[in-house]
Amino acid sequence: MEKSLLIQYLGDTPKLRIIDFFLENRSDYSKKEIIENTGISKTTFYKVWDDLVQFGIVKETRKYGMAQLYTLDESNPVIKKFMALDAELAKQAMKKATNKLAVAS
């Protein structure tokens, strides 16, 4: 699994993996889906999950069968900063890639 720009820049931690997953996948997911898609062990996931809920990083959206689904709380000021940082990192990466192509031509 290739690391995202955000993970490369800030480090690979379980909380950041979850935030990064939601930044790249703007929908709602069950805890099981989040665990599977982030590559975090179930034990580690449950150690960090309550913090993400407590600080309003993630929020409940709806129930799908027996599963509760969650999404990133994009109205949270901290998440807005993460979104801006992610966008800026992508912009800088594109600029570097464009410059490399121009130099190579």
Q: What pLDDT digit, counting tens, does each position of 65-88 carry?
A: 999 999 999 999 999 999 999 999
Render pLDDT for 32-52 as a digit per residue (tens, 0 to 9). Answer: 999 999 999 999 999 999 999
Rounded to whole angstroms, the Cα distance separating 82 from 27 reads 17
- Report which residue type is found at 89: L
User: What fold, for 5-104?
Assistant: Arc Repressor Mutant, subunit A (1.10.10)
Q: Where are the domains of the chain?
A: 5-104
CA-nearest of 78, 77, 66, 75 to 32 is 66
Rounded to whole angstroms, the Cα distance separating 33 from 74 reads 20
- List the structure tokens of 79: 């998440």
Beta strands in 1-105 (DSSP E): 29-30, 58-64, 67-72
Burial of residue 18 (number of CB atoms within 10 Å: 0-12, 13-18, 19+): buried
Does the predicted TM-score (pTM) go above 0.95?
no
